[in-house]
Structure 1
Amino acid sequence: MDSSEPLFSKDKFLGLPQERRHKKLALILKHAYIMMLAGEEADKALENYRKTAAYIAEKESPLATLKEVSDAFHFHAKEAKWNLREDSLLPSPRQQDREISSSKLPIFAYLDSLRSAFNTGSIIRTAECFGFSKVFLGGATPSPECSQVKKAAMGTEAWIEWEAHALIKSLPRPLIVLETVANAPSLYDFKFPHTFTLAVGNEEYGASDLLLNEADFFVTIPLRGRKGSLNVANAFAVAAAYAANELNRIDRKG
């Protein structure tokens, strides 16, 4: 069949539940969008979409630009109740990745038996973005060998060193644990040393007893809302951004 011909007969398409119809249309548009982004001819794919959308009398939208195709994709994704993860989104037309990174900072991350592959991948991505030299994965923390970790890391697992089954006693010192313990100083008052390991505990129980006993310092993120904690990946991002900025500021002064 010519690629400009609909993938479904009218009877077959109308036989699908409404949400599946919209998801099929969204996927056709995603294919066309990726072709357009790559500079390839997408007219046949877009014609396929128009003919298929006509089965449900969908009002024809302008599809001349990436933005217009993106808007149509997200309309159908919403109608399909498609809960889009970041790896399901359309690729950005803005190429923000650099061929090489700036010089790494002498700072490290330690993840203490995280449960979530998404949180693990997100922290790896954050650590790479802020110039951490290495991520140590402790206990049962899933590694980038897990496909879900790789999806959340968005390719950064190939750009930063990581080590699975890392032992706390072997981590670069000092060991700074991000945790809500009594009398822990605010992140914003703490003077970060030139090199350190920033550690976070798991989503359910926080830092393990072993990590708490081995910690050289504790820091906490001051919160004003009623909720007393942040998602571990979000908490790491806040601390990593602040710590990296402090080191960069000191280097600029020095």
Structure 2
Amino acid sequence: MTANPRRQLRPTDVKRLNRTWRRNTEGRLALIVESVTGPFNIGSIFRTAAAFGADRIWLAGNATPPTNPKAQKTALGTDRLVAWEEPVPVTEAVRAAKADGFRVVAVELTGDAVPLHEAELTGDVCLVVGSEDHGCSPALLEAADAVCYIPQVGRVGSFNVGVATAIAVAEVRRREWAALEPARAAESE
């Protein structure tokens, strides 16, 4: 009898699969989280960052730290897997990210923002997300290297900040991994 290829992977299989993707990931990824106060949003952002191998998270403004007990319920300890900085003024966080070699790209709806799928997201990228109510501050938008938005076709004006972060982070990694496909095909010939 053959094994069912659609069975859920065992923990050992998942670790092996994740190790393969980790070996094929070279670009550095970071986040600046400005004034996100909802602990469940913070926990979700940290869990997403850990899953996609983010190097660092700079908290800015009055962002809730991941040590908040409610944030821990969503983060499930993943704040141990991603280096993070206590909240500082947002321009300080942007300066630190740039000094560390990151291109800073805000995820926000602005007049000059480009759709996420057209944004320059190669190399070392630091994505920036803003508060649940007001998004990114004017100071942050001024300091960022670029701004992109997530296209939507429904009748809702915006995504939850945790969801928006996950979409943007996944897009950065998807692009990097998609660029590997032609190289893999050439190697196998």
Report the structure, 1 or 2, having the larger strand content. 2
Q: Does 1:243 align with 2:172?
A: yes
Unpaired stretches in structure 2, ≥5 consecutive residues: 1-9, 184-189
Q: Show the counterpart of 1:233.
A: 162
Instruction: Report the 3-state secondary structure (helix = DSSP H, G, I; strand = E; otherwise coil) of the residue aligned with 1:110.
Output: strand
Aligned residue among 54, 60, 74 for 1:138: 60
Instruction: Report the 3-state secondary structure (helix = DSSP H, G, I; strand = E; otherwise coil) of the residue aligned with 1:188.
Output: helix
Residues 131-170 of structure 1 mapped to structure 2, 5 A cutoff? 131-166=53-88, 167-168=92-93, 169-170=95-96
Unpaired stretches in structure 1, ≥5 consecutive residues: 1-93
User: After TM superposition, what 4+ stretches of structure 1 lie above 6 angstroms from structure 2?
Assistant: none
Q: TM-score, normalised by structure 2?
A: 0.77
Provide the rounded CA distance (Å) in 2 between the counterparts of 1:95 and 1:148: 27
Aligned residue among 25, 30, 38 for 1:108: 30
Asked which structure has the greater RCO (Cα within 8 Å, sep 6+), the reply is 2
Provide the rounded CA distance (Å) in 1 between the counterparts of 2:38 and 2:73: 13
Q: Deviations over 1:60-81 (max 9, x none)?
A: xxxxxxxxxxxxxxxxxxxxxx
Provide the rounded CA distance (Å) in 2 between the counterparts of 1:98 and 1:148: 28
Amino acid across the alignment from 1:248: W
Q: Show the counterpart of 1:117.
A: 39
Instruction: Report the 3-state secondary structure (helix = DSSP H, G, I; strand = E; otherwise coil) of the residue aligned with 1:164.
Output: strand
Amino acid across the alignment from 2:53: G
Q: Offset of 1:226 from its aligned partner?
A: 1.2
How many residue pairs get matched? 162
Q: Is the 8 A contact 2:105 2:126 kept in 1?
A: yes
Aligned residue among 119, 132, 139 for 1:210: 139
Looking at CA atoms only, which structure, 1 or 2, has the larger radius of gyration? Answer: 1
Instruction: Report the 3-state secondary structure (helix = DSSP H, G, I; strand = E; otherwise coil) of the residue aligned with 2:58.
Output: strand
Instruction: Report the 3-state secondary structure (helix = DSSP H, G, I; strand = E; otherwise coil) of the residue aligned with 2:172.
Output: helix
